[in-house]
Structure 1
Amino acid sequence: MPPQSPPSYQVQPIVRDGRVADVRLTLRGKTWHLAGRDGEDALARRWIASLAPGELPVVLGAGLGEALQRLLAATAGPAPPVLPGPSNPPIAPVSPPPVLVVDKETAIQEAAGVNRRFAAESRLRFVPAPASPVSPISPDVPSTLAAIEAWRAEHGAGPLRVLSHPLYVRLDPDYYLALAGALAPKSPDAPPPSFGRSRAGRALRPLLLTSKYFLMGEIMTALDRLGAPHKLVSVPEDEAETQAYTRTILTAIDEFRPDFVLTTNHMGVDREGVLAGMLARLGLPLASWFVDNPHLLLDAYNHKTTAKTIVFTWDSDHLESLRAMGFAAVHHLPLATDERRFRPLARPPREHPFTSRVSFLGNSMVVKTRTRLAVARPSPELTEAYRDIARAFGQSPGLSVAQCLQREFPALYPQYAALTQVDRRLAFDTLIMWEATGQYRLDCAKRLTPFFPLIAGDPGWLEALPGEGKDWRYHKELAYYNEAPLFYPLAAINFNATSRQMKGAANQRAFDVPACGAFLLTDAGAQFQSLFVPGVEAAVYSHPDEIADLVRFYLDHPAERRKIAEKGRRRVLAEHTYAKRIGTLCDIMRAFI
């Protein structure tokens, strides 16, 4: 249900002795008074008493300005210095804290005169609520939270203290109450809130930020098999829906009471850090499982991490670089397979378009690189050299495009550094990785042509690899869930060439093919060799020069193929299913709840 617009109300100032003593509000036939029964003195005392040293006060609703004035006066002087002693080194007095006021009620501000009253107060900043892109009269909660986070970072990123004017929360709970809930800290001594009810022996309850990314289906299936309750929140494709999205998350947290939030590739986590910061203040851990190069995603984020953000990566080569980004909790969690979907065929068809001696299912990267080149818009010199840069990147063990340029193409590095727009620079990095992958796969595919392979993928293969119909056979791209489980068992040899963005990791095919009881010939990445026994549970090549001899050998030895395929399937069932991966993830998350 879309958020309701704030109700309209009438405002009338009440003047006594030449000053505004109160403001009368009429709303839905009811009359409210801004001053309340006791005026704002009692409110000021509560605010001042609740504010601890070092906290940054965020006031929700300026009211008449009396409580706000008292708050400013009470915090005007420097905090008393800590006396030096054995455990207290001398420190300088602390400056008076700034105060942020969130108040969208312009009619009340005008009637109470607070803008004029505090116009010269340098410690005070008003944050007007930005209009939502969805509705110009509905305030945008995420944008307000982002403004608060920016102000907090500007003033040392200290803890926030939310000071709410009670009338404002009643006036528009969809806005002020949502802000208060998002900004409120979790006290370690408080009883467990409506979420975070972790108990030993109980399955954890994740809140899933879902998208169209294929892996979420596997995660949900694994959670069902583990008996772990879960709830889905769809990530909006349109950024204009962020207000409704945040409202949905807050409602889901309150109703479902999750133990943690889980996403893949940081989907649904905004670049400004509003969601991550909100979850951290609620004491709710955020788990993000990266199954693509995290730097192609996270480098665009202004606020990457909080103490409650736990990162998992399918590629252990990124562990140290993620820690260097500031993530304190980083774990290796490889890909896996859904063995109920990828399994041996009970009755393999005798004739089928997928039947082949050697097959490869993968993207040529021809079209993908063109789209990234268009987004990156590099200089003419970089455009001319990008294929050479990609070749050098693909042949090096490193994972950084920037470092490859500095080392191999120092004259071009300043032009790369001139791509100051983050999206353009990341598009260029992606271009190099994808072009390197395309070059590598094309080289491998050429080694397969003596065996008339079946290649399933994008139409770019027809452009990149000549001789279709004579040297090789083409099939259009396959539907992963419906066609890939049939494709793998119908090939005598399933060939795999891993993307150059993951030079050491194991990709999805490395698990799906053995799960089908099919034979796999793959590149010998270091991490693959820690997951399977090379030559026993899968055949591996260390260099494309080895491909033809290995294909020829295993085509001539079907019994050896069957033995390796059987052992590979046993390994997958024992260790590499998504149910096991999600079980591991939940075991790790239990320590953070």
Structure 2
Amino acid sequence: MPERPRAPLPGDPRPERLKVVAELGRPQSLPAGEEQFEAMGTGQDILVLGLGPEPGLLAELLPRDGVSFVECPEFEAQMPPEWGKAVPRAWQRLSPDKALAAVAAGRRVLVYRPNLRLFPSFWGPLRAAAQVASLGRGQAHEALREVWLPARENGLLVRELADAFGEEGFSVRLLAPEDLSKNLPRLLREATPALFLSLNFAGLDAHGEAFHLLEAAGAAVAVWCVDNPFHLLSGLRSGFWKKALLCVTDDSFTPRLMDLGARAVLHLPLAAWRGFGANVDAKIETNDDVAEAEGAPPVRDYGLAERLVFVGRSEFPDKAGFFAGITLPEDVWEAARERLDRGFRPDFAWWAERLGSLLWPGRQSREPGFGAEQCAREWRARCLAAGARETPFTVFGDAGWDALVPGLTDRREPVDYYGPLADIYAQAGAVLNVTSLLLPAGLTQRHFDVWAAGGFLLTDATPGLAIFPEELWREISFGRPDDIPGLFRKFKNSRTSRETLTAAWRELIFEKHTYRHRVRSVLDWLDLD
């Protein structure tokens, strides 16, 4: 009799694993063994989602009859001849569509888990369907008029969106983004939201497992890309994003996203929150007896009535880590500096074209992003320096501005967005905005908040201003840093023009550009009424 195989010893060479080139073009090893399979459901017949590198092992573990399987064509094409010979002939091969029907009919399912990292676009929907079928959602399960928002209570746009959805008749449930993959099956067993809205892909894992599970459960999924969408995509490992509704603050990204396969892209700029400018009129007139009688809180005088004010960071958090290892050609740097000198914008689109960057898949999109961010830093520094030279100028921001703007004499510490910022905007002689070159046609929160707070904005002439009437934005915009002091003096010396423009802008913002308007756009697009 042949000897029984012995267990491997510490000195034995490790068996060589099979490798495949995965969905995004990277070679990866294939883990083997019974423990790589996940079981779901309780049906009698068995459906195998992915045979793994050792179909012979499954043949030993599973019965000869009553077994069907699905295999990814890209995976199977890379397997050696002996792999196919090890698949029992009695097992039935199913197409993905027939596999979905089998899952719905109640099969027991085995999933080769590593496939969800190898070919997530193929396996994600199949595994999610099996997962939903195994959740055991009974009569207690509800389809809610609720929006699930993966964010912390003090997170980006949380208050604004909660109020806006509430005005449209939807409640908002906050979910901890870092725990979501673990908790999502339990949550979906209890209820299905009308909408899962992710800000910058928060709460959605890189391979799309959470997305596919939400989709299989019947929830609409939208992602609001508040930042550069290609920077956000650089952190993903699957093309699941193409199936979600992508909302972009900068419409110049739409054609490129559609070319890469996005099914739906909605232009959704930032907006104003009525809570930010609440009681502005009472706050501005703090000595008014009526305001005091109505309980308007006392407002600190920041001494800004004759000053040009800028509020913001000198660079975004973890910039060094995000752009680590990137170097760019010196000749392109030189061309970008010359472009700045001539009053043009070397923005993300310009850098992407000059570098010929592949924007998806992978992280190449960070290369034009690095160039655009460095130019944006220089552009901000030039604008602030022009303000500091010829106007009474105040910056609320971090110490990084001290080195970037040597002539700066009045820098104050950063302020809380939900704290005194609205009062600072309202009291300033004017508020300076400088738009990031990472968003070629984007707008900042200042384009809305300053007017909402009753303040007066001066902004660089970004293409994103086209969403507003030209007769309004051309009055308050500049093309070159040297234009800033003259523009500030113009409105300082013309109180009537300033008040007329402020009233017109404030009326426009609240009539057409609040977060309720943005939320309504998303609900209309998804036909959620």
TM-score (norm 2): 0.70
Report deviation, 1:374.
Answer: 8.4
Question: Residues 293-343 of structure 1, C-alpha deviation per residue, up to 9 Å, x if partnerless?
Answer: 010110231213267511111111111122123210111111101122224
Report deviation, 1:179.
Answer: 8.9
Report deviation, 1:586.
Answer: 1.6
Question: Residues 330-366 of structure 1, C-alpha deviation per residue, up to 9 Å, x if partnerless?
Answer: 111111011222242514358424444211112233x
Q: Which residue of 1 aligns with 2:395?
A: 455
The 2-side partners of 1:383 and 1:193 are apart by 61
Q: Which residue of 2 aligns with 1:478?
A: 415
SS in structure 2 of the partner of residue 289 of structure 1: strand
Q: Does 1:47 align with 2:12?
A: no
SS in structure 1 of the partner of residue 477 of structure 2: strand
What does 1:538-577 correspond to in 2, within 5 Å?
539-577=476-514
Aligned CA RMSD, in angstroms, stands at 4.3
SS in structure 2 of the partner of residue 437 of structure 1: helix
Q: Which residue of 2 aligns with 1:208?
A: 149
SS in structure 2 of the partner of residue 480 of structure 1: coil
Q: Which residue of 1 aligns with 2:261?
A: 326
- Contact 1:535 1:564 (8 Å CA) reproduced: yes
What does 1:495-510 correspond to in 2, within 5 Å?
495-510=432-447
Give the 3 Å change call, closer, same or farther, for CA 262–536 of structure 1 in structure 2.
Answer: closer
The 2-side partners of 1:346 and 1:159 are apart by 54
- Contact 2:196 2:220 (8 Å CA) reproduced: yes
> 1:529 is matched by which residue type in structure 2?
A
Q: Does 1:263 align with 2:198?
A: yes
Report deviation, 1:426.
Answer: 5.4
Question: Residues 267-318 of structure 1, C-alpha deviation per residue, up to 9 Å, x if partnerless?
Answer: 1111112112222333322110011001011023121326751111111111
Report deviation, 1:451.
Answer: 1.0
Question: Residues 21-77 of structure 1, C-alpha deviation per residue, up to 9 Å, x if partnerless?
Answer: xxxxxxxxxxxxxxxxxxxxxx99x537xx7xxx95789xx99968642145x779x
- Contact 2:348 2:371 (8 Å CA) reproduced: no
What does 1:145-544 correspond to in 2, within 5 Å?
147-150=114-117, 160=126, 180-182=130-132, 194=141, 196=143, 204-211=145-152, 213-236=155-178, 244-305=179-240, 308-343=243-278, 344-348=280-284, 351-365=301-315, 371-372=319-320, 375-378=323-326, 382=328, 388=334, 391=337, 395-396=344-345, 399-400=348-349, 403-406=352-355, 425=364, 428-449=367-388, 450-469=390-409, 473-535=410-472, 539-544=476-481
- Contact 1:345 1:486 (8 Å CA) reproduced: no
Question: Residues 458-513 of structure 1, C-alpha deviation per residue, up to 9 Å, x if partnerless?
Answer: 111111112333xxx21121111112111100112111111111132221000001
Relative to structure 2, which stretch is displaced further, 319-328 or 392-401? 392-401
Give the 3 Å change call, closer, same or farther, for CA 507–327 of structure 1 in structure 2.
Answer: same
Q: Which residue of 2 aligns with 1:132?
A: none
> 2:518 is matched by which residue type in structure 1?
R
Give the 3 Å change call, closer, same or farther, for CA 264–278 of structure 1 in structure 2.
Answer: same
The 2-side partners of 1:151 and 1:505 are apart by 35
Question: Residues 174-218 of structure 1, C-alpha deviation per residue, up to 9 Å, x if partnerless?
Answer: xxxx99424779xxxx99994556xxxxxx421111146421221
Report deviation, 1:538.
Answer: 6.0
Gaps of 5+ in 2: 1-41, 77-82, 92-110, 285-298
Report deviation, 1:531.
Answer: 2.4
- Contact 2:125 2:213 (8 Å CA) reproduced: no
Give the 3 Å change call, closer, same or farther, for CA 482–58 of structure 1 in structure 2.
Answer: farther
> 1:517 is matched by which residue type in structure 2?
G
Give the 3 Å change call, closer, same or farther, for CA 570–235 of structure 1 in structure 2.
Answer: same
Give the 3 Å change call, closer, same or farther, for CA 304–184 of structure 1 in structure 2.
Answer: farther
Q: Percent identity?
A: 22
Gaps of 5+ in 1: 1-42, 79-93, 99-117, 125-143, 163-177, 198-203, 237-243, 408-412
The 1-side partners of 2:69 and 2:240 are apart by 31
Equivalenced residues, count: 436
> 1:357 is matched by which residue type in structure 2?
R
- Contact 1:271 1:300 (8 Å CA) reproduced: yes
Relative to structure 2, which stretch is displaced further, 509-518 or 392-401? 392-401
TM-score (norm 1): 0.63
> 2:252 is matched by which residue type in structure 1?
D
Question: Residues 429-483 of structure 1, C-alpha deviation per residue, up to 9 Å, x if partnerless?
Answer: 44322211111111112221211211111111111112333xxx21121111112
- Contact 1:356 1:454 (8 Å CA) reproduced: no
What does 1:3-82 correspond to in 2, within 5 Å?
47=45, 68-72=63-67
The 1-side partners of 2:439 and 2:69 are apart by 54
SS in structure 2 of the partner of residue 230 of structure 1: strand
